[in-house]
Amino acid sequence: MSETAECVVIGGGVVGSAIAYGLAKRGEKPLVLDGGDSSIRSSRVNFGLVWLHSKGDGMAAYGFWTRRACDLWQQFADELTDETGVNTQYVKSGGVNYCLSEAEYNKRSETMQRMRGQAAEDPYEARMVDRGELRQLMPRAKLGGDVTGASYGPHDGTCSPLYLLRALHAGMTKRGAQYRADSPVTAIKPVDGRFEVVTAGGVISTPKVVLAAGHGSMPLEKALGFDVEIIAERGQIVVTERVAPMGILPANGVRQSTEGTVLIGTTTESVGFDLSTTPQAGAAMVKRALSVFPALAGVRIVRTWAGVRTLTRDKCPVYEQSGQYPGAFIATCHSGVTLAAVHANDLAEAIHNGKFTPMIDAFHGRRLK
């Protein structure tokens, strides 16, 4: 006899777990099927930025969607801590993107202006800060001589992606979701308005299925009528020993974690699912970080790692309900940490209701055809 569930979420990473948490908050009892230890897990190899001001160049809706996430994040983080005792270490510090020459500063300035001009309203409220103002923002930091300034986003911040994932797992379970590890889905079959979800442990019959398995969604999506291309991109990160708090704002390329390590990133490489790190990439990233903060030269590197991003063709999220098989949903995106706050709220609400709002429908994959 096959098992039944009122809802199955495929993927126990930060995207699937945020959706499952939001569904559980709305009274559903989702069964979350996670992959195995050898699955590609973007959720666990992550820089931990909760980031707005560089998102949505070319797609205004992504800027507004991310702004909404940043606006919800503090309440979302507090709620997770209250319910689970796990602190996601979220801090809305503001964030910067350093410029290391006049040319970089001018180019960054043009990009910010272009993004601001995409819609009548400006979701970013970002601005360029020159070297002098940057020093005022980080009075203790000793900037390298090449630093000309930065773009500054007041809504940006950081969290611990690992504690976020742990909090989501604890929160969704507490609210009635069931989490099943090491249960990769091998096939999904639509049968008479329901879905048969096939795993090594058996078949689960459900009227509602949410595909949120990152790269694992690709082999499953066609059976549900989806056709979203998910692209792998490697990113490498260098990690230093723990040092005393430096009083620096987080940036794309360098930030200090709550525990004191300095994270230096990152690369964008098309090498499939190859998770190796390369000394060449590490050296280039460290060189740039040293141009920003020369004093980091005295700090020891303790490890490097690589992860695979989950991208679409335009790097923006795709959310769809299947036209062919209503009750089947797909959610895939790069910024699962930042967007966790809207995934647990707005997106979970839409999936719960079976009806997408215009804001969410803007992320339908038809734009990529």
Partner 1 sequence: MSNVTVNVEGKAISVPAGESAAGAALAAGLTHTRVSPVTGEPRAPYCMMGVCFECLMVIDGVPSRQACMVPVREGMRIERQTAVEVWK
What does the binding site for partner 1 look like in residue numbers (CB under 8 A)? 140-142, 241-246, 258-260, 293, 295-296, 298-300, 302
Determine how many CB atoms are found less than 10 A away from the CB of residue 65. Answer: 28
Shortest approach of partner 1 to residue 242 CB, angstroms?
Answer: 5
* Terminal alpha carbon distance of the chain: 41
* Nearest residue (CB) to partner 1, 303 versus 366: 303
Distance CA 117, CA 128 (A): 15
Shortest approach of partner 1 to residue 34 CB, angstroms?
Answer: 25
* Nearest residue (CB) to partner 1, 96 versus 296: 296
* Nearest residue (CB) to partner 1, 84 versus 256: 256
Retrieve residue 249's tokens: 């704002």
Distance CA 34, CA 180 (A): 6
| 251 secondary structure, DSSP code | B
* Nearest residue (CB) to partner 1, 162 versus 203: 162
Q: Of 351, 287, 273, whose CA–CA distance to 10 is shortest?
A: 351
Distance CA 10, CA 17 (A): 9
Shortest approach of partner 1 to residue 293 CB, angstroms?
Answer: 7
Geometric angle at alpha carbon 355, from 351 and 357, rounded to 5°: 100
* Nearest residue (CB) to partner 1, 242 versus 288: 242
Amino acid occupying residue 48: G
Shortest approach of partner 1 to residue 92 CB, angstroms?
Answer: 19
Distance CA 146, CA 100 (A): 5
Shortest approach of partner 1 to residue 264 CB, angstroms?
Answer: 13
Shortest approach of partner 1 to residue 85 CB, angstroms?
Answer: 19
* Nearest residue (CB) to partner 1, 230 versus 249: 249
Torsion over CA of 15, 343, 84 and 82, rounded to 10 degrees? 160
